[in-house]
Structure 1
Amino acid sequence: MNRDTANKDSSLVSTAKELQCLKSVEREVLDWFPDYIVNAHQTGQLYIHDLSDRKFNAINSSLLNLKQILNNGFSINGTQYNEPTSFSTALQKTGNIIYEVSSNQYGAVAIPEIDTVLAKYVEQDYRHIQQQFKVIQDYDQNHFEYHCMKMLNEQCLCAWKQFEERLNTINNGNAQLPFVTLTFGIDTSMFAKIVASNLLQARIEGLGKQNSTPIFPKLVFIYKNEIHGEQGPNKDLFEKSIVCSTKRMMPDYLSVDSGYVCEIYEKYGKIVSPQGCRSFLGPFSFDNDIIFNGRANAGVVSINPVRCALIVSQDPTFVKGDTEKFYQLVDNSIYLAIQVHNITREHLKLQKASSNPLFFCEGGCYKKLLCDDTLESVLEGFSWSIGYIGLNECSLLLYGKELHESNQFAIEFLSHLKEQLEAYQKQFNMMFSIYGTPAESMTYSLNQKDRKQFGIVKGVTDKKYYINSFHCNIRQELDPVDKMTIEAPLFHLSKGGRITYTELPNVRNMKAIGQLCREAMKLGLYWGINIQLDECKDCGHSSEFFEHCCSECKSTNIVEITRVCGYISFRLVKGRSRMNDGKLQEIEERVDHVKATQSLKPLKNNDIVNGPGLRVSVWLNGCPHKCKGCHNQQLWDYKPSIPYNVDEIVKLMCTGIQKDLSILGGEPLAPENVNITLKICQAVKQILPDRNIWLWTGYDYEQVKDFEVMKLIDVLVDGKFIQEKKDVSLQYRGSTNQRILNPLTGEVLAKYM
């Protein structure tokens, strides 16, 4: 079974045939290149991505100009289509276009700002619905607008669900589901918001009988604070997007508040959308305009700086911090990668536009070509990516420090790479870009080649993978904001391809995810979350499974969906994985940047389990209840020597993202603890009066309602844990007898129940 690409099911005859065909032509493509380039690829100095696909002189990923195709009408296989006259037909034809274009290239198809493109068709539907109601003599005039909008949204949602169902069911001509990315969210017009809102609703509701999580399209929400912030016109759309991300891991979020995308937006009034999972284009002038849509990436070649660092560090004369020889080796690798692109261009420029007619001849491309035209005249607007991997391992080898300890090496490396590519760009008039490679199959392939030559090197080849691009060590426990801050300058240097993410437990804390997202947007990032989305195909239960079986019925007939990096995919389907051993190990070893479990320490920062939003949690020792099945039994004994520093609690609540407070145990209201609990609450409310405090107690409300601390807390969770009433679906509670209450009135807070 081929496990190079998680989105290809090689157990299917059609996919197996396609993979076998591609494998058979690899040697032919390698014959394009001099022996020293072939040797560099085979030994792991270089990684020529999509090697077999190059045989057919196809482009990689594209930013499709869907608006131009739909507006002008188009032809597929000799059949001429007119411009759509409704939203449902527009989406149906968009699906046809995606299948046709994606079948004739090997990377992703991205449709920028799809809400803006399709808004006109929703408006046409709206006018038609109005006319329908008006011909009904006894229609309800008082609720006319309500009924029109209700029908409009129902039609729009239905069309999106059919669109997603098709994209996740039928393979394209490359024997895989079409990799398509849709960006949206910044358009504030009514009909564009209807497009975006129903796209999110379709994703929230899921696919098929069991409401499964779709893999495609990849969704990217374009965020700008003045539009999506507290007073923004699209705040509601952002909040719905967070609901969707919490449940389905998508959309990812692209900031227009700072960084490169912001600079382009402020300078040209245009959004630079990603192609596929992470690739970005630089500005290009055509016909007296700066354009992004209708352009493409022509391919990726990655260098292996880890190998360069291994060669240098194993020299007996090497001294930590001496990188002169390292950069000599890196520069040679860059030179070889540039040669690969130059040779590829010589082949690609001879390709006919008829090889991908919808893109090149029907308006998808920025320059419309005739069928017999070659691609030479449009290649100047395409990017050529130089990828890299494993900067964390390089830093460890060369300086003895990982990126979370110091990101200076990575800044230096990427600045050097930028300088080199700018020089080559001037020399060859090609748009070379720095690309943080997704590293799905490459992460394992290069690691294994280096392990074979250099042996087991701690922190480098003692695992089966290299860490993705500029990312911190995935095994390192990091505060999520610290991780963003460390990676941000590296992200901004890697303009041709980058994404960063936060690893989270599957606890569905929407407020916390929203807080993290806004922080990432302030830093100008392209950011997403990773939560484990596991679904049982026998009982329908969905959660984060452990031991690769359903946590409810113990079935192994499950689907595990996780983030590869910039996109999500299948980790496990019916007991079989489509991922290689290196990527599987990397996923297994990822640690959450926000913890779901209680540590042995009395304080925990960035808790997302115990209350809404990010919180500081305090656990007090000592509990008289000793409930059967309690998961905090280590806190039953009273330990008066444990310090509870109120100043430290307040400091944590003010550091990074503003956080609220949770007090748990043990039993915070036990006689031994009630005074320290009161002291903590008094201090927090005095210094941070706007922060909310949640408190968990095994006592019933009626037993503690007159305690002084009740006047200071905002939410009380009461009652002993009863194992027979345990319900894992409950949020903030362990068993159904427990209540979430207003501590002043005893009223049940239904929104949390």
Structure 2
Amino acid sequence: MIEKIRKRDGRIIPFNKEKITRAIYLAACEAAKKEDKPADYNKADIIADEVVKFLNRSFAGQIPTVEDVQDSVVRTLIKTGHAKTSELYILYRGERNRIRDSKNRLMKDIHKITFLDSGDADIKRENANIDGNTPMGIMLQYGSTVSKEFCKKFVIKPEHAMAHERGDIHIHDMDFLNMGTTTCCQIDISKLFENGFSTGHGYLREPNDILSYSALAAIAIQANQNDQHGGQSIPKFDFDMAKGVIKTFRKKMKDNVSKYLEIEFDMDDDSTRGIISSVYESYGDIESIEFSDEQKEGFISALKVAIAQAVGSAEGLDEKAAKAFEFACRRSTKEIEKQTYQAMEAFVHNLNTMHSRAGAQVPFSSINFGTDMSPEGRLVSKNLMLAQESGLGNGETPIFPILIFKVKDGINLKKGDPNFDLFEIACRVSAKRLFPNFSFLDAPFNKQYYKEGDHNTEVTYMGCRTRVMGNIFGEEVATGRGNISFSSVNLPRLGIKHGIASGRTEPDMEGFYMELDEKIDTVINQLIERFEIQGSKKVKNFPFLMGQGAWIHSDELGPEDTIRDVIKHGSLTLGFIGLAETVKALTGEHHGESEKAQELGLKITRYMRKRMDEASKEHNLNFALIATPAEGLSGRFVNMDRSMFGEIEGVTDKEYYTNSFHIPVGYKLSAFDKIDKEAPYHEITNGGHISYIELDGDPSQNLEAFVSIVQHMAKSGIGYGSINHPVDRCPSCGYTGIIGDICPACGVKDGSGEVYFERIRRITGYLVGTVDRFNNAKRAEVKDRVKHA
């Protein structure tokens, strides 16, 4: 008689027939549901008796394992004519195995998070914006790890969880799935500031000077970060902040006219206030920090009349009123320049130091600017970049916000354009600090939305590369919208299975597209499933994003209203990585090596875009295709595929898959050639894209070349691009530039004593930082990168 059983962990426990009966009964219940009849517990018990008899015969004198018992149950069910029940029992068995494996994996991950240093554990470096060694960083990772397992077991459909577990797809930000958060939002700061806003602990009134504008903009980004799992962007920062500049300038003019009157006429405060009040009643509000001749004359005339009324005589006031204006204008211009710089400096410093998400990370933030041609907007743009150029307190390169300079012919692209000087500053600062990145409004797929004078129609990007503009619901604007969620397919795996990498003489493209369709269908269904979870949440669940009206039309809802009808204005996106490895596995060449491979790469990408366009029509939602910003994913997919298929040259022989549609980082070609080869993919990937160029040396020493690369991006049809180069810093003396083993400024050696040089690198649109914070896959990628001449 069987008396004991061996568990999977090796423990031996007493044999219990009741567990077999219950498992058979549960499977029978599922089978009975399909036939609309009740299950019979007694029949399950009888079948369990047959299982025990078989075990006694087959394992006499032995201790069977759990797997032995389960195999015996399946055999007995089939033999006794319960094939349907056996199928459902197998599914039940698989689900139990999945849950058990999940528990084991969870405990292993918790152990790594708890006891390993972040330098020794990739799991603690999945997000380079989180310090995995700090208490709050560890707590955030605990929550993330547990939430992922909970979602896989209890929230999402088993087939979606299985596809993710197998590495066929990757569900991004799964740890936030059950919470219903959206990914990102492009915030209309002007709308938010118009009547003030609340962060949950008090109401902040409308700001009235540029320092308050910048402070509240940082607070808005921080508050919104806690309602989303992605980033926050301000699409028209220069236009928004310009309002704070003019408000401050008006105050300065009043103060400085008052100072002049006080000195020149020995007036008290009440008298100067009366004159200022009279001037502004007559003249109206100052509309610009630069006066036209007509405006200057009008202000002086109003000032002369007001002074004459106060002193009782107009004699000699022409010259004095003019001097008062010149004095006030000169001082106010100088002061507003200084104060705007201080505001932008504070903004940059705040976003690199203020924390969100339980204090574990600084907010993911992006700032789009560069097209406001007003003196106030230009002042904001210039000083924002100067603050970036100056760096943080000890000269460190700011990581946030991601500055994105919007390039537009006729505004800032070439000499003679009103903001060309700002474009030159942008190139100079980017050559030193990696940012700004550059977006291109004249790319055909961006220009189609552009309406002159309507700044909301200027296509903007999140720092990561996300782009949200098209909208089947009509309102094709940047502000108030963002990505809802996205998932990626493992393209290289399909390339390996259907390409010459698997031993074929010719790729099986029919089989490739057939299986790609299956994966895309899975992603579409999974995104819809997630969307319904998100849409069922209420305004009160997102007190800032929805409660303060940051998301489009959310200000029309009440706290108890669900948000489905407003988040539908965002995008649901299919992502992909490793196009280069996919084409290589299919044909033996990647798309940088031949025109034939390039044609295939474009064909595959267009096919995925076509499927997304079809899904938009079928499901009445904004589906889009994104060139996935792969951080941890690139290493995850390749590690799984290498274990399945072995090491394949040019495909699985690295620690990472190539980012989205990019030419492999180790392939040598010129900067212009790389731009030209990647540019066509930008138009196809309407959910987001970016192209990088790698430069060697210090690009600050050759700004002409830097400018020419950005201008070529504009000419080629790139939507969003950036230029990578080394940024090193010596903490001993603060020198920033390119440093080998020895600092050229102070002579200290890297690693000597407590001095370790900071080596800042970019690996995705958002992910910029010291190399030691990157995971192993991204470290390997940085090491492999060649420079583009």
Quick check: TM above 0.5?
yes
Q: By how many angstroms is 1:546 displaced?
A: 4.2
Distance 1:88 1:410 in 2: 49
Distance 2:527 2:576 in 1: 15
**DSSP-derived class of the 1:162 partner:** helix
Equivalent residues of 2:389, 2:433 under 8 A apart: yes
Q: By how many angstroms is 1:109 displaced?
A: 0.3
Equivalent residues of 1:203, 1:214 under 8 A apart: yes
Pick from 569, 572, 584 the counterpart of residue 384 of structure 1. 572
**DSSP-derived class of the 2:126 partner:** coil
**DSSP-derived class of the 1:39 partner:** helix
**DSSP-derived class of the 1:213 partner:** coil
Pick from 145, 167, 182 the counterpart of residue 351 of structure 2. 167
Distance 2:348 2:500 in 1: 51
Unaligned runs of 5+ in 2: 1-117, 119-123, 265-322
Equivalent residues of 1:259, 1:523 under 8 A apart: no
Distance 1:316 1:155 in 2: 64
Which amino acid is the alignment partner of residue 529 of structure 1? I
Equivalent residues of 1:436, 1:470 under 8 A apart: yes
**DSSP-derived class of the 1:468 partner:** coil
Structure with bigger gyration radius: 2
Distance 1:568 1:206 in 2: 18
Deviation track 1:615-640 (CA, whole Å, cap 9, x = no partner) reads xxxxxxxxxxxxxxxxxxxxxxxxxx
Distance 2:435 2:737 in 1: 16
Distance 1:411 1:55 in 2: 35
> Relative to structure 1, is the Cα distance of residues 125 and 564 closer, same or farther in structure 2, using a 3 angstrom cutoff?
same
Q: By how many angstroms is 1:549 displaced?
A: 8.4
In the other structure, the counterpart of 2:441 is 256
In the other structure, the counterpart of 1:485 is 676
In the other structure, the counterpart of 2:759 is 560
Q: By how many angstroms is 1:548 displaced?
A: 10
Equivalent residues of 1:65, 1:366 under 8 A apart: no
**DSSP-derived class of the 2:411 partner:** helix
**DSSP-derived class of the 2:686 partner:** coil
Pick from 318, 321, 329 the counterpart of residue 145 of structure 1. 329
Pick from 705, 711, 717 the counterpart of residue 518 of structure 1. 711
In the other structure, the counterpart of 2:729 is 535
Q: Which moved more, 1:546-555 or 1:123-132?
A: 546-555
User: How many aligned positions are there?
Assistant: 588
> Relative to structure 1, is the Cα distance of residues 145 and 239 closer, same or farther in structure 2, using a 3 angstrom cutoff?
farther
Q: By how many angstroms is 1:60 displaced?
A: 0.6
**DSSP-derived class of the 1:363 partner:** coil
In the other structure, the counterpart of 1:278 is 465
Pick from 227, 230, 234 the counterpart of residue 104 of structure 1. 227
Pick from 241, 254, 257 the counterpart of residue 131 of structure 1. 254
Equivalent residues of 1:415, 1:493 under 8 A apart: yes
Q: Which moved more, 1:131-140 or 1:148-157?
A: 131-140
CA RMSD in angstroms comes to 1.9
Distance 1:561 1:315 in 2: 37
Which amino acid is the alignment partner of residue 251 of structure 1? P
In the other structure, the counterpart of 1:581 is 776
Distance 1:267 1:96 in 2: 30
Which amino acid is the alignment partner of residue 155 of structure 1? Q
Q: By how many angstroms is 1:278 displaced?
A: 0.6
In the other structure, the counterpart of 2:582 is 394
Deviation track 1:273-318 (CA, whole Å, cap 9, x = no partner) reads 11332111132366x7533311121111000110111111368673
Deviation track 1:476-522 (CA, whole Å, cap 9, x = no partner) reads 11111111111111121111110011101231221211111111111
Unaligned runs of 5+ in 1: 595-753
Q: By how many angstroms is 1:393 displaced?
A: 0.8
**DSSP-derived class of the 2:162 partner:** helix
Equivalent residues of 1:283, 1:292 under 8 A apart: no
Deviation track 1:311-342 (CA, whole Å, cap 9, x = no partner) reads 11368673334411111111111111111111
> Relative to structure 1, is the Cα distance of residues 200 and 22 closer, same or farther in structure 2, using a 3 angstrom cutoff?
same
**DSSP-derived class of the 1:264 partner:** coil
In the other structure, the counterpart of 2:121 is none
2:197 matches 1:74 = yes
Q: By how many angstroms is 1:243 displaced?
A: 1.2
> Relative to structure 1, is the Cα distance of residues 124 and 582 closer, same or farther in structure 2, using a 3 angstrom cutoff?
same
Alignment of 1:261-660 (within 5 A): 261-265=446-450, 269=454, 270-284=457-471, 289-313=475-499, 318-367=504-553, 368=555, 369-405=557-593, 406=595, 407-507=598-698, 508=700, 509-525=702-718, 526-546=720-740, 552-556=747-751, 557-572=756-771, 577-594=772-789
Distance 2:341 2:622 in 1: 40
> Relative to structure 1, is the Cα distance of residues 218 and 26 closer, same or farther in structure 2, using a 3 angstrom cutoff?
same
> Relative to structure 1, is the Cα distance of residues 500 and 317 closer, same or farther in structure 2, using a 3 angstrom cutoff?
closer
Distance 1:316 1:276 in 2: 38
Greater per-residue strand proportion: 1
Distance 1:316 1:568 in 2: 35
Equivalent residues of 1:434, 1:494 under 8 A apart: yes
Equivalent residues of 2:501, 2:586 under 8 A apart: no
In the other structure, the counterpart of 1:721 is none
Q: By how many angstroms is 1:189 displaced?
A: 0.7
Q: Which moved more, 1:350-359 or 1:111-120?
A: 350-359
Deviation track 1:455-493 (CA, whole Å, cap 9, x = no partner) reads 100011111000011100111111111111111111211
Distance 1:478 1:548 in 2: 30
**DSSP-derived class of the 1:130 partner:** helix
Which amino acid is the alignment partner of residue 406 of structure 2? I
Distance 1:366 1:423 in 2: 25
Alignment of 1:38-77 (within 5 A): 38-77=161-200
In the other structure, the counterpart of 2:371 is 186
> Relative to structure 1, is the Cα distance of residues 88 and 413 closer, same or farther in structure 2, using a 3 angstrom cutoff?
same
Which amino acid is the alignment partner of residue 757 of structure 2? I
**DSSP-derived class of the 1:433 partner:** strand
Equivalent residues of 1:538, 1:555 under 8 A apart: no
Which amino acid is the alignment partner of residue 527 of structure 2? H
Q: Which moved more, 1:481-490 or 1:168-177?
A: 168-177
Pick from 325, 338, 341 the counterpart of residue 154 of structure 1. 338
> Relative to structure 1, is the Cα distance of residues 50 and 148 closer, same or farther in structure 2, using a 3 angstrom cutoff?
same
In the other structure, the counterpart of 1:120 is 243
**DSSP-derived class of the 2:565 partner:** coil
Which amino acid is the alignment partner of residue 197 of structure 1? K
> Relative to structure 1, is the Cα distance of residues 54 and 546 closer, same or farther in structure 2, using a 3 angstrom cutoff?
farther
Equivalent residues of 1:561, 1:568 under 8 A apart: no
> Relative to structure 1, is the Cα distance of residues 192 and 51 closer, same or farther in structure 2, using a 3 angstrom cutoff?
same
Distance 1:193 1:186 in 2: 8
Distance 1:337 1:79 in 2: 41
Distance 1:332 1:304 in 2: 12
Distance 1:248 1:180 in 2: 16
In the other structure, the counterpart of 1:656 is none
In the other structure, the counterpart of 1:234 is 419
Equivalent residues of 1:72, 1:83 under 8 A apart: yes
> Relative to structure 1, is the Cα distance of residues 159 and 57 closer, same or farther in structure 2, using a 3 angstrom cutoff?
same
Distance 2:767 2:230 in 1: 15
Q: By how many angstroms is 1:555 displaced?
A: 2.6
Equivalent residues of 2:222, 2:354 under 8 A apart: no
